[in-house]
Structure 1
Amino acid sequence: MVDIYLKVENDPPVLALSIPLNDIQRLSLRPLKWLRYITFAVCGARGDLSTTPDSPAVDYDSVHHLDPVAEAYYYTPQETYRLIDHSGLNERITSSAQTTRRSRFREDIMGRDGSRCVFTREIPLLCDATHIIPSCKGDEYIQAVLQDRGALYDPAPDETSIDSIQNGIFVCKDVHTLFGIGSCAFLNTPNFALDTTDIAFTALDGPMSATRITLQHLIPHGGVRPILPFDACIAGTGNLPPPAILLDYMYGVAAYRRWGCGEHIKELMERRFTERYGTLPAPPVSGSASDDEDSGPSGDAHDSDSQPNRQRRGGARRHGSTMSAGMLQAMDDVLLLSMLTRGTTPESVSRERRRREEEEELRRQEASRSKVEAWKQASLE
């Protein structure tokens, strides 16, 4: 296990992350450079790692893929910390079909990224236009992120709404689900700490690009159909790609959910959240009960995260449910138990849904071919 401590002025170093060595080796060819990057993504400040609170910065290129590393590193910031919102994934979000603007979101993202998943090349029927910053956060929230961390990037977007094309990416439903719960994240390189060659390259379409967006499984992903850590292949116009500031921010959110450690860092994050984001107005929600669910091709599975205890900013519960968090959790537990009793799991249900969707797509294609053949035959007669 490798512990990362943040140096805080006038206070002892704060334990922020505790990361298994096998995760570090699995996700990077240059462990120290990757550790520097994820610390930056979480705390929002450029800085350096050292092996003791007062020692000089480490030589980042001295440690290769499987070389031993220290048990602890201390991060000295070069600027003020801009910590992530540790509950950045913990919001229940309405469908992208809720408004006219959101109904265009999928079309805009497909125009830029192409009509297949940028990572797996799945067909459009099995893909979603995914918000990078969850759509429930609203325009004010994403603007606060840009204003808070904009000085770290050149250039950084000036104006980006929650349904902007820059806040979206076209991915298959499985990747969408994993991203929505923080199991995977999208790594942008080169960045503050990493070069493109510091991350293993798994070819899907063509050679490695000079700039990369790599799918990384923070929680190891297996199963019958494992999703490999491919680079994004943008097959559309490529205009206005997801900016590094948003990808880094959500990488930090997912990294903290996976490896965050210690009560002190959580307290610092909660204080920072209250100061920076706590006073933002919650975005409007529709009164329709279906707005919290994926509404098909135009819906957003990330926007219908099934975790029950969802709080809106400022601590008030979102409308549409008067049940306590405990009651909602109990209902989820009962649902899961009933599925297991029937010999099913959420994963098997997802696979069966995918199989049926694929069969339906094949049936539609066959029907279209039959119509064309009938038309040709009629023309000959």
Structure 2
Amino acid sequence: MSTSPSSLQPLPPVPDGHVGLVIPLDQNQLYLEIPIAQIQLLCLKPLKYLIFLAWCILGQEGSLAPDRPDHTPLQDLSGALLDPSLYYYIPAPISEAEGDLDGLVDLEVIKIKSAVPSEITTSRNDFRENILERDPLCVFSGAPEDSCQAAHIIPYARGSEWFQTIIQNRRPYEENVDDLTDINDVRNGLLLGLLHARFDRRMAVILKTPNHCLDVGDVPPRPVRPTVVLDPSVSYPTDHRYSLQWLQDPGLFMSSSFPNNLDAAFNTHSQQPKPSPLLLHYNYGASALRQWGRRLEPLNTHKYHTRPKAPQPAPMGPPKSNHNRTVAIHKRNAANNPNEPSTSNPTSCEQHRDWSEGIVQSEHHAPWDEHDLMFFILTNSPAAKEQRHKKEEEKRQSLEEWRQGIIV
């Protein structure tokens, strides 16, 4: 059962130039603090954009209510945001019968499974080849493929167990995801050049429109770039857009080279499917939490708050520290994120503040990152439970039909 706005804990005043967005989650609350100027760059209907953000994060339909005593949802979403202002997302009700059918998904179990290599039917090489068939050039800059990389939307390191759980618990709407099971599926990637690192760091996202909340016309028009000539082999989709958007200012060079709302172009004649809207929306929510999430400390006390240790292989001779990539990974993260706390010694008992304010890391308590938080929300929200109930009901009906066929 979702928490009503009136039962949520009081929040501090929203800073000038920002809008606050509160998203209820059981007895906790997610709180985003978003620069109004940034919203105006990304969407022509800022109130609809707030609903889109909450929908991406929670995976559940709902409405938007201003910070008033009655919390009456807004009917007109064409207006502007007040500076500063606070809004509450009101999830659409789900019946108690549907909400109580499934227990919580244990995040630790999924993490342990994901740490063990699972069956991946498509190799990394095949993944790149399939991407190149659809994206012969960087989809945003037109850079040649030899200077680009095949980027995963859901990171490859998360594993197929993690990937499949996302698909199973997210409502696909009109998209057919029945065969979307492999993390190296072409729908989980696209070809990127200089943007790849920013995309992995959740500074850049891709907004696919139309979607359940936003129409194509709600996004500012594609910027006119007279110096850029579209390659004859690629074209923009005619009925939808895959628009590049910056959730964090990338600096003058990147913002001028890759302006907001620049659209992706794909091989005109390719039969490969486009990037999955379901995965792009999920990634948009994760990126928003990373850039704008605040006051997430209540989730720190949840029963599934710990991050399990990766399974250790059986020892085969003396330990070889040069095979341990942990230090290299943390050094790389530190180089990519110079303003974030250093974790070069992840086993140290010295505590430090995490990106989400209030989640503390120590030797026995590694912090959640944006993917952990999104995964927990995804698998334990009322909408996710409803989705699992529907799948179980379909399975039950199929078994019943099979049983009736045997009896006859």
TM bracket (short chain): 0.5 to 0.7
Aligned match for 1:215, one of 237, 244, 250: 244
Establish whether residue 186 from structure 1 lines up as the match of residue 206 from structure 2.
Answer: yes
Establish whether residue 110 from structure 1 lines up as the match of residue 136 from structure 2.
Answer: no
Q: Note the C-alpha offset of 1:188.
A: 1.0
Letter matched to residue 307 of structure 1: N
TM-score calculated relative to the size of structure 2? 0.59
Inter-CA distance 265–21: structure 2 relative to 1 (3 Å threshold) = farther
Supply the distance in 1 between the matched residues of 2:324 and 2:215 (Cα, whole angstroms): 41
Give 1:375's aligned residue.
none
Supply the distance in 2 between the matched residues of 1:129 and 1:290 (Cα, whole angstroms): 26
Supply the distance in 1 between the matched residues of 2:279 and 2:152 (Cα, whole angstroms): 10
Aligned-pair identity in percent equals 29
Give 2:154's aligned residue.
133
Inter-CA distance 121–14: structure 2 relative to 1 (3 Å threshold) = same
Give 1:257's aligned residue.
290
Give 2:274's aligned residue.
241
Query: Does the aligned pair in 1 maintain the 2:134–2:272 contact within 8 Å?
Result: yes
Establish whether residue 72 from structure 1 lines up as the match of residue 86 from structure 2.
Answer: yes
Query: Does the aligned pair in 2 maintain the 1:140–1:280 contact within 8 Å?
Result: no
Q: Note the C-alpha offset of 1:166.
A: 1.1
TM-score calculated relative to the size of structure 1? 0.63
Supply the distance in 1 between the matched residues of 2:128 and 2:321 (Cα, whole angstroms): 21
Letter matched to residue 27 of structure 1: L
Inter-CA distance 238–3: structure 2 relative to 1 (3 Å threshold) = farther
Cα deviation code 1:140-173 (max 9, x no counterpart)? 1110000111x3523341232111111111111x
Query: Does the aligned pair in 2 maintain the 1:30–1:60 contact within 8 Å?
Result: no
Q: Note the C-alpha offset of 1:240.
A: 1.6
Please give the residue correspondences for 1:1-381 in structure 2 after superposition, counting only pairs within 5 Å. 1-7=18-24, 11=27, 14-51=29-66, 52=68, 54-63=70-79, 68=82, 71-78=85-92, 101-114=123-136, 116-149=137-170, 151-159=171-179, 160-172=181-193, 174-200=194-220, 201-203=222-224, 205=230, 209-226=238-255, 227-229=258-260, 230-235=262-267, 237-264=270-297, 266-267=299-300, 306-307=332-333, 324=346
Supply the distance in 2 between the matched residues of 1:306 and 1:20 (Cα, whole angstroms): 28
Question: Which 4+ runs in 1 deviate beyond 4 A?
Answer: 79-83, 203-208, 270-274, 278-284, 287-293
Letter matched to residue 92 of structure 2: Q
Supply the distance in 1 between the matched residues of 2:199 and 2:286 (Cα, whole angstroms): 11
Letter matched to residue 249 of structure 2: P
Secondary structure of 1:110's aligned partner: helix
Comparing 72-81 and 38-47, the one that deviates more: 72-81
Letter matched to residue 144 of structure 2: I
Which ranges in structure 2 are unaligned for 5 or more consecutive residues?
1-17, 108-114, 314-319, 336-343, 350-408
Query: Does the aligned pair in 1 maintain the 2:242–2:264 contact within 8 Å?
Result: yes
Inter-CA distance 266–178: structure 2 relative to 1 (3 Å threshold) = farther
Supply the distance in 2 between the matched residues of 1:324 and 1:251 (Cα, whole angstroms): 28
Supply the distance in 2 between the matched residues of 1:62 and 1:3 (Cα, whole angstroms): 18
Inter-CA distance 323–156: structure 2 relative to 1 (3 Å threshold) = same
Query: Does the aligned pair in 2 maintain the 1:117–1:170 contact within 8 Å?
Result: yes
Query: Does the aligned pair in 1 maintain the 2:237–2:265 contact within 8 Å?
Result: no
State the aligned residue count.
283
Query: Does the aligned pair in 1 maintain the 2:122–2:184 contact within 8 Å?
Result: no
Which ranges in structure 1 are unaligned for 5 or more consecutive residues?
86-92, 294-302, 310-321, 328-381
* Higher helix fraction (1 or 2): 1
Query: Does the aligned pair in 2 maintain the 1:63–1:69 contact within 8 Å?
Result: no
User: How big is the alpha-carbon RMSD for the aligned residues of Structure 1 and Structure 2?
Assistant: 4.1
Supply the distance in 2 between the matched residues of 1:180 and 1:5 (Cα, whole angstroms): 26
